[in-house]
Amino acid sequence: METLEKRINGFKSQDIMDTVGAIQSNPEIAKFIFRVRNQWIAGGHNRSSIKDFYGGCVEDESRTEPFVFDNSEPPILLGNNEGANPVEYILHGLAGCMTTTMMLHAAANGIEVEHVESYLEGDLDVQGFLGLDNSVRNGYQNIKVNFKIEGNITEEQRRQLISFVYKSPVFDIVTNKVPVSVSLI
């Protein structure tokens, strides 16, 4: 029983087992709907708020206040730096999701990690976005991710940790086409 109460990488082994068991007994628990509300402010500046979501077969009520994120552009892209730009948020989301995924799967596999850092770069040519060259993609042409992982781990465990990042939902989103519908309300 002591092993189940143990925390590995900030996760309780019992919590992982309970969550997996609940989903195995009722797969509907695994279905989530996340929501973001966004409002344009001026120029390239807009603001998103994130609060409510559906998960575990219920509307979540754990958040009393929304998370608020300002999106903008640097001056060279006609903004005033009121916030990171949306493609930078994509890199942030990718980094965060891959790291969390790695640490959760590491904990589930009993691999203790002391420190993880990631460094991401995305190559983007704005000619596509601006409609100047239709042969240039609108978004990132390439994203490079490098991880620095420290701990008393073997080289095999290090490779296993890197393999876990491919299970990241955001990794899947940026590497596979996701159907997106756009409409007016």
Q: For the chain, how many structural domains are there in total? A: 1
Structure tokens at 52: 């409510």
Q: Is residue 130 part of a domain?
A: yes
Q: Is residue 161 part of a domain?
A: yes
What is the pLDDT averaged over residues 174-182? 96
- The beta strands (E) that lie in the chain are given as 7-8, 11-12, 33-34, 37-42, 45-50, 53-55, 58-59, 67-71, 115-123, 142-150
Range of the domain at 103: 85-176
Q: Is residue 145 part of a domain?
A: yes
Q: Is residue 6 part of a domain?
A: no
Q: Is residue 183 part of a domain?
A: no
Q: Is residue 181 part of a domain?
A: no
CATH number of the domain that residue 123 is part of = 3.30.300.20
Cα 48 from Cα 141, distance rounded (Å): 25
User: What does the pLDDT look like over 134-143, one tens digit per residue?
Assistant: 999 999 999 9
Crossing angle of the two packed helices 13-25 and 86-108, in degrees rounded to 10: 100
- Which of 68, 72, 67 is CA-nearest to residue 83? 72
Which ranges constitute the DSSP H helices of 45-114?
A: 86-108
User: What does the pLDDT look like over 55-96, one tens digit per residue?
Assistant: 999 999 999 999 999 999 999 999 999 999 999 999 999 999
Q: Is residue 165 part of a domain?
A: yes
- Band (pLDDT 50/70/90 cuts) for residue 6 is confident
Structure tokens at 80: 């005033």
- Band (pLDDT 50/70/90 cuts) for residue 37 is very high
